[in-house]
Amino acid sequence: MMDDFSTLIGGIAGDGINEAGVTVARLFNRLGFRIFMYYDYPSLIRGGHNFSVVRASKQNVGACVDQIDVLIALNQDTVEMHKWRLGDGSFVIYDADRVKADGIKQRSCGIPVTQILKDEGALPVMKNTCILGGFCRVAGIEWSVLKDVLLKHIPKKVEQNLRVARRGYDSAVELCRVERSTPSQDQVALPVMTGNQAICLGLIKAGLGAYVAYPMTPSSSLLDFMARLAPDFGLKVVHPENEIAVILMAQGFAYAGIKAAVGTSGGGFCLMTEGVSLAGMAENPVVIVVSQRTGPSTGLPTYTAQGDLHFVLNAGQGEFPRFVVSPGDAADAYYWSGIAMNMAWKYQTPAFILSDKVTSESLYSLDAAGDVLEEEPSLWDGQGRYSRYSHTKTGVSALAFPPQKGQVIKADSYVHDEFGITTEDPKITKEMNDKRLKKGRSMAEDLDRYETVKVFGEETSKTALLCWGSNKGVCIEAARKFGLKAIQVLVLSPFPEAKLKHALEGVHRLIAVECNSTAQLARLVGLYGIKTHDWILKYDGRPFSLDDLQANLGRVLG
């Protein structure tokens, strides 16, 4: 019985490599495994080298390993670029009409993919269906499992896809047998989804009414998924002309009482920053998903990074509170996206979901530890004259939405009094600034009831890994391997100083693990007197593999 099985499928853009990887993930999910899939692709519509790595394990995983058990090659580049990943027990499945496997020492199986497609009059994109049929036979996965997956998820030309897959299945030979993982009593089959899909569901659960976005990788799939869900949940999904329009339209929805969210990446967020300041001054609730990619500027549009932490923490002129959370996997994304929506509306402030390419686009088994419920904001009771920015103990003013008979409802970007009337009075200027900051303190107190810092691994270890975002998964596994503690900081603003210091009790050596070149979380915790002793940084656009991190830890720990 294999406890951990990794599959890589590669080809060019246009071969359907992402969907092929998703199909492999679904196959292993049917067999009772937990899933993590990373998709690597250049910024090209066709051509280039695309590959998906699917890791199936008996336990929850959130990172890839370098060595793979099976290599599925739709072109020669896939063999040449990834043969270093093959071990003695690995095997290769390839398109025999396009790929030569002469130099491969491992067991291999060629499938006449091009000929099968020609015989069946099938479209070129069906080559992945064909070779996945071969993969199932090679891996000893029953035909019925693949058939069920294809019937459930192929939207059109179902019968032709099944014939092509069966031809591929019959053309192969069994080289190993992946046995069904028998779930324990506390391990049940889980849904498989990307982090972006989980973000969408969490926002909807917390009352999302409108999603506004201009496409920008790796946030673009949010827009696509929201549009697909719109009819079922009554969502308004809008694609305006640019990111400036996006952030302003979302605040227009909020002014009308509709909970709205936007999605973008670093370059698009640059255009939104003035609108973020507007939300801060006008106290407009808005949720902003920022999915990080390699920068500066255009950078690497389809690769990952964690370089925008301080940008998001400080974006917009002036001083005003904000909520910032960075989920580490699909489960975090689902739960904390709902919390972000609640916080935005409870405290009438911008709330950020700071993701990255790995969390956003990777596929996970969604093991949601908790559910989120929609919280109602503070609403005006309709008595007397409405005061949009009235002073309260928490700093939060009651909301009202137009039209209200006989009332004027303001939303002012200028310094204003409690009714929203523009002023330049120094006393009012200070009072309103204090009011906004009071909301931030109230939010921080509210967050004490949440697990804003998580601890994994050996809790008594004197050495700990410090991480945020998508490095959660790889740090948990590496900590388990080395007998270390792993600490994940989920909420980055308001910063959970007391909870992090509590998690660090007994720790004498703190190692920051980040996908940027300046250790941005290490710099942030340093503002609170927390010293990091070592940094392990990766900033080539690719995520840490488990092997990467373990090798670096071996070097750092000596």
pLDDT (tens digit, 9 = 90+) per residue, 298-346?
A: 999 999 999 999 999 999 999 999 999 999 999 999 999 999 999 999 9
Q: Are 128 and 20 in contact (CB under 8 A)?
A: yes
Cis status of the peptide bond prior to 124, with omega within 30 of 0: no
Residues whose CB falls within 8 Å of the CB of residue 30, separated by 6 or more in sequence, listed in order: 145, 148, 149
Residue 293 has pLDDT above 70, yes or no: yes
The whole-number pLDDT of residue 184 equals 52
The whole-number pLDDT of residue 439 equals 98
> How many angstroms from the chain centroid is the CA of residue 497?
25
Residue labelled with tokens 């911008």: 350
Q: Please state, in angstroms and rounded to a whole number, the distance separating the CA atoms of residues 35 and 255.
A: 41
Q: What angle do CA 153, 201, 372 make, to 5 degrees?
A: 140
Residues whose CB falls within 8 Å of the CB of residue 225, separated by 6 or more in sequence, listed in order: 196, 197, 200
The whole-number pLDDT of residue 558 equals 84
Residue labelled with tokens 């959130």: 62
Q: Dump pLDDT digits (tens) for 191-209.
A: 999 999 999 999 999 999 9
Confidence of residue 143 (pLDDT cuts 50, 70, 90): very high
Confidence of residue 103 (pLDDT cuts 50, 70, 90): confident
Q: pTM above the 0.75 mark?
A: yes
What's the rounded mean pLDDT across residues 78-104? 92
Q: Please name the helix (run of DSSP H) or strand (run of DSSP E) that holds residue 12, with its range, or none.
A: strand 4-13
What's the rounded mean pLDDT across residues 113-118? 94
Confidence of residue 3 (pLDDT cuts 50, 70, 90): confident
Tokens of 349: 């402030």
Tokens of 78: 């896939």
Residue 185 has pLDDT above 60, yes or no: no
Residue 180 has pLDDT above 90, yes or no: no
- 186 burial class (0-12, 13-18, 19+ CB within 10 angstroms)? exposed
- Structural domains in the chain, sorted by start: 4-171 (3.40.920.10), 192-365 (3.40.50.970), 453-557 (3.40.50.920)
The whole-number pLDDT of residue 545 equals 98
Q: Please state, in angstroms and rounded to a whole number, the distance separating the CA atoms of residues 280 and 428.
A: 17
Q: In whole angstroms, how far apart are CA 222 and each of 74, 170, 219, 467?
A: 29, 38, 6, 25
Residue 188 has pLDDT above 80, yes or no: no
Residues whose CB falls within 8 Å of the CB of residue 31, separated by 6 or more in sequence, listed in order: 56, 141, 145, 178, 179, 180, 181
Give the SS3 label for residue 398: coil
Q: Are 295 and 307 in contact (CB under 8 A)?
A: yes
What's the rounded mean pLDDT across residues 511-533? 98
Q: Are 174 and 137 in contact (CB under 8 A)?
A: yes
Q: Dump pLDDT digits (tens) for 243-253.
A: 999 999 999 99
Residue 72 has pLDDT above 50, yes or no: yes
Q: Dump pLDDT digits (tens) for 362-413.
A: 999 998 767 889 999 999 999 999 999 999 999 999 999 999 999 999 999 9
The whole-number pLDDT of residue 183 equals 56
From edge to edge, which strands make up the β-sheet containing 107-111? 107-111, 86-95, 68-73, 4-13, 47-57, 34-40, 363-365, 192-194
CA trace torsion 538, 539, 543, 546 (10° rounding): -10
Q: Dump pLDDT digits (tens) for 472-501.
A: 999 999 999 999 999 999 999 999 999 999
Bigger pLDDT: 46 vs 233: 233
Bigger pLDDT: 548 vs 157: 548
Confidence of residue 157 (pLDDT cuts 50, 70, 90): confident
Tokens of 444: 């921080």
Flag the least confident range among 140-144, 179-183, 495-499: 179-183
Average pLDDT, the chain: 95
Contacts 24+ apart (CB under 8 A), 461-465: 461/485, 461/507, 462/506, 462/507, 462/508, 462/509, 463/507, 463/508, 463/509, 463/510, 463/511, 463/557, 464/503, 464/504, 464/507, 464/509, 464/510, 464/511, 465/511, 465/512, 465/513
Q: Please state, in angstroms and rounded to a whole number, the distance separating the CA atoms of residues 169 and 185.
A: 33
Query: What's the chain's Rg over C-alpha atoms?
Result: 25
Highest mean pLDDT among 87-101, 143-157, 432-446: 432-446
Residue 187 has pLDDT above 60, yes or no: no
Q: Please state, in angstroms and rounded to a whole number, the distance separating the CA atoms of residues 263 and 288.
A: 6
Three-state SS string over 137-204 comes to HHCCCCHHHHHHHHHHHCCCCHHHHHHHHHHHHHHCCCCCCCCCCCCCCCCCCCCEEEHHHHHHHHHH
Q: Dump pLDDT digits (tens) for 210-221.
A: 999 999 999 999
Kindly report the number of other CB atoms within 10 A of residue 89's CB atom.
11
Residue 261 has pLDDT above 90, yes or no: yes
Q: In whole angstroms, how far apart are CA 479 and each of 36, 99, 464, 466, 476?
A: 18, 40, 8, 11, 5
What's the rounded mean pLDDT across residues 522-547? 98
What's the rounded mean pLDDT across residues 273-286? 98
Residue 97 has pLDDT above 70, yes or no: yes
Residue 355 has pLDDT above 50, yes or no: yes
Confidence of residue 11 (pLDDT cuts 50, 70, 90): very high
Q: Are 338 and 164 in contact (CB under 8 A)?
A: no
Q: Dump pLDDT digits (tens) for 401-430.
A: 999 999 999 999 999 999 999 999 999 999
The whole-number pLDDT of residue 416 equals 97
